[in-house]
Amino acid sequence: MDWVSLGKAALMGIVEGATEFIPVSSTGHLILAADWLNFQADPANTFEVVIQLGAILAVLWIYRERLTAVGRRWNTDPTARQFILNVMIAFVPAAGVGFLIYDWMKEVLFRPIVVAWALVLGGIVILLIEKWNPKVNVETVDEIPPTTALKVGIAQILALIPGVSRSGATIMGGRAAGLSRTAATEFSFFLAIPIMFMASLFDLFKARDTLSATHVPVFAVGFLVSFLSAIIVVRAFLGFVSKHTFVPFAWYRIVFGLLLLLVYGLR
């Protein structure tokens, strides 16, 4: 057993779980972490897909009672049906565009320099939206109208660029569309379930011929650590956004992105 590889897998799992659901870009951080750790988990990119599944499972676990209730009542409860419809509406734009440009995106955009620029520009956008402080028209996820769900879904297309952040795009898209911070954050969590699940399955399907039992230990460690760290971060993040703005995340993105531009610009 390669303990060094397992240790690197655990670190990658922490990065994924800690960054997937906050507006700082998990994909960007994973690209950078893999580069800095010189982490090569064969087959390429599949390890990241597996640990993303760990993060998704964390959201399913935290919201298991609510999601189970929606599943039980969808045929009798209009609120449950509206919730499902909103998630489906918001899911379609990024899923469709991502399917069409998947290969080009992986080949061209998944580079540290792209991540760096996206972090900086995304941080500036967050600062602008927080300064604008849009009027809140929707306080809870259950009150979101389909048109607003579509706006959040369109915003999620930007997250196809590594470094933008899926959660950042959807949360800020929700804020700009009039959602409260808590509603925007929770809807971002729920929207993560289908988009990340489908993206992960698509990646795993494409890598099906290269997977073997030798990958299990490293993948299992990354998956478990991602699951546990995501549970901790999601719960803490919900408590944070109920009382604070997203400005600290914006400045983190800008400072971190500028440092990356300096580092990779000198290479």
Each domain of the chain, given as residue ranges in start order, spans: 3-265
For the record, the structure tokens of 46 come out as 């599949």
Residue recorded with tokens 């009027």? 135
DSSP states of 86-98: HHHHHHHHHHHHH
For the record, the structure tokens of 131 come out as 């300064």
As a whole-number percent, the residues of the chain with pLDDT over 70 amount to 96
Each residue of 103-145: pLDDT tens digit? 898 788 888 889 899 999 999 999 999 999 999 999 999 999 9
> Can you name the residues that pair with 138 across neighbouring β-strands?
179
Query: CA–CA distance from 141 to each of 4, 83, 88, 137, 197 (Å)?
Result: 43, 8, 14, 12, 21
For the record, the structure tokens of 125 come out as 């956008």
Asked if 44 and 31 touch (Cβ cutoff 8 Å), the reply is no
Res. 24: pLDDT tops 80: yes
- pTM confidence score: 0.90
Each residue of 199-239: pLDDT tens digit? 777 777 777 776 666 778 888 999 999 999 999 999 999 99
Give residues with Cβ within 8 angstroms of 79, minimum separation 6: 142
Q: In the predicted model, what is the mean pLDDT of residues 11-40?
A: 89
Asked if 171 and 134 touch (Cβ cutoff 8 Å), the reply is no
- 3-state DSSP assignment of residue 138: strand
Q: In the predicted model, what is the mean pLDDT of residues 145-165?
A: 95
> Can you name the residues that pair with 179 across neighbouring β-strands?
138
Asked if 35 and 112 touch (Cβ cutoff 8 Å), the reply is yes
